A and B are shown apart, each in its own frame.
Chain A
Amino acid sequence: MELRKNYFADVRKDDLHEVGQPRPRSDSPGHVTGKTAFFADRNFPGMLHLKMVRSPHHHARIRSIDTSEAEKHPGVVKVLTAKDVPHNVYTILILIQIGPEDETVLADGKVRWKGEAVVAVLAETERAAQEAAAKVKVDYEVLPAVFDMEEALKPGAPLVNEYHGRNYYLYDSGECRKVRFGDVEAGFAGADHILEQSYQSSPIEHAPTETTGCVVVPEGNDRFTCYTNTQAMFFTLDNASIILQMPGSKLHFVGGTVGGGFGGKVDVIVEPIAILGAKLTGRPVSFIYSREEEMQISSPRAAEKVVIKDGVMKDGRIIARKVTGYTDAGAYSRHSPYGAQKGAGHYPGPYTIPNVWIDTYCVYTNRTPSSAMRGFGVTIGDFALEVQMDRLARLIGMDPLEFRFINAYRDGDMKAHRQPTEGAALIECMQEASRAANWPVAEKYMAMSSYVKGA
């Protein structure tokens, strides 16, 4: 890595002592000696293992659940169903007033995705829990399912989630988050070329080497210590408190040493049910996702569809951009309504365009609920935007890098969401990339600056 100090030297004082220094990491010695304690490295006498019975269907009504054989299985201590969960219908962003509550801790009457948790089995050993889980009988009436976002948005599509009553999230702005800036249709009308293109992704897993999990220990004083690899301590504690209808003061969360997160450990999934198990049995409880669960049950990055329509001039200026983004939330909201509207704030990318129209939708389908991941709401959008930029440049016969200089945002430029640009550095990044990659651009672009002209 090279630090190029010649850029922005006028706005930066390099007078720091500790900051800016390549100090060794304080956690590394623990890692290389195997001494670092991850949550699962704590073992407690009498610890129970929790295994989940999961839906084999994408969408089904639950006619009945029979746990009697499982309860009799040797080593089984407790079997939990929806009725055992004090506040079974929840949504994690309710803490920042984003509802409605739309997800069940344990399925109640219905499953909406293949893999959804239905029954929790707690047993002396993992093996006993697995064997007992195989003995739980669930009678399902399979329902039509919908997997394609466009299909889901059509009239008459199977309804994924009754708590929403429609297959998309309803924002205060309506069926989508909107940004309206300038007059996009007038922009298209005046453009030399119009280019409309659709981009698509499929779900992506965080795949941390350490799977999601927790170990919960009853402290004997009506408090419970939860060793967890959550990415958000109080967010998880407070949601667990709501789900369990238990004062937060009864909960003690210990974590902060996590084997990779990438956004995959911000859903509150394992902790509430494990705490409930510890409370109802009085025993320590371990609930750790298997690798298979991490890959297919834990929330992935959402699949997205992004449709971009641009109006561009022969001289390289983009004068109108319309973006329609669809986020495949799967069966439940989790963080997806937030991610979808983050896209609305991000488009049209780091470019100054006078006429912009953005709609971003959060769509429900019968698949594993998606949620946050590194680059949440932006990563797939950037793929779409930057491939579109390449296409536009070639359409008008311009060098793709030079085309970006022409449109790059600079300090003071008004963004589509009506914030003036501050602290821009896109131009300088492109100038340095031009040098590093030996991709020459015209001298006028190398002479540009992100600073406000004359300031």
Chain B
Amino acid sequence: MAKVPVQFTLNGSEKAEFIDSGTTLLNALRDKVGDTSPKGGCHQGTCGACSVIIDGELRLSCLTLAETCNGTAITTTSGLAEGGVLQPLQRAFLDTFATQCGFCTPGMIMAAKVLLDHTPNPSRDEVVEALSGNICRCTGYEPIIQAVLTAARANSQNAA
């Protein structure tokens, strides 16, 4: 089976792998690179658990072929905490009890991060829209919405 090279930065560090052509980014990250923070909840693009950030844009890694990501910068939830210190967004998920089973959490955090990167003080409707591609079956969404709004408030206080 023909292997193709892929090279990208993952959470700031260079990665290069040989993969089977046609491998999804999700499988490449999980099985080759060893970053299991993106989750395979559906492999259909309908749950958002595999969400990652590619060059600043939210993407579904289950529908993205790894070889189309050559030269990109990829961010995953496992790369957010620096030196073991949680980012305000992660902290907010803890403080608002926004995680239950935790399976959707990394994808939710990716979706929320992209929102806050572009819109530091989002309205509730903007938060709802930003999370709309991510399924949670445990929480009923409200604690997650509150987590993102809490993180936004923390961001704006830090900025001020």
Q: Which residues of A contact B (CB under 8 A)?
A: 24-25, 27-38, 40-41, 43, 125, 127, 206-211, 258-260, 262, 288, 290-292
Contacts and interface: CB of A to CB of B under 8 A. Distances in A.
Interface residues of B, number: 41
A209 B104 contact: yes
Of listed A37, A38, A259, A262, residue having the most chain B CB within 10 A: A259
B122 interface: no
B86 A29 contact: yes
B137 interface: yes
B18 interface: no
B136 interface: yes
Contact of B136 (A28, A38, A209): A209
Interface centre among B22, B38, B76, B138 (most CB of A within 10 A): B138
A32 B90 contact: yes
Contacts of B86: 29, 32-33
B77 to A, nearest CB: 4
B49 A209 contact: yes
Greatest chain B CB density within 10 A among A31, A125, A208, A291 is at: A31
Contacts of A292: 44
B93 A31 contact: yes
B22 to A, nearest CB: 8
A288 B26 CA distance: 15
B4 to A, nearest CB: 15
Interface in B51-107: 76-78, 80-81, 86, 90, 93-94, 97, 99-106
Contacts of A31: 93, 99, 102, 105-106
Contact of B103 (A24, A25, A33, A38): A38
B102 A290 contact: no
Contacts of B37: 33-35
B99 A291 contact: no
B52 to A, nearest CB: 11
A33 B102 contact: no
A34 B78 contact: yes
Contacts of A258: 101
B111 interface: no
A24 B30 CA distance: 29
Contacts of A36: 102
18 contacts: A24-B94, A25-B99, A28-B94, A28-B102, A32-B90, A32-B94, A32-B105, A33-B77, A43-B36, A208-B101, A208-B137, A209-B41, A209-B49, A209-B103, A210-B41, A259-B101, A260-B101, A291-B43
B69 to A, nearest CB: 19
Nearest to B80: A33
Contact of A30 (B35, B47, B102, B137): B102
Contacts of B39: 38, 209-210, 259
Contacts of A260: 100-101, 103, 137-138
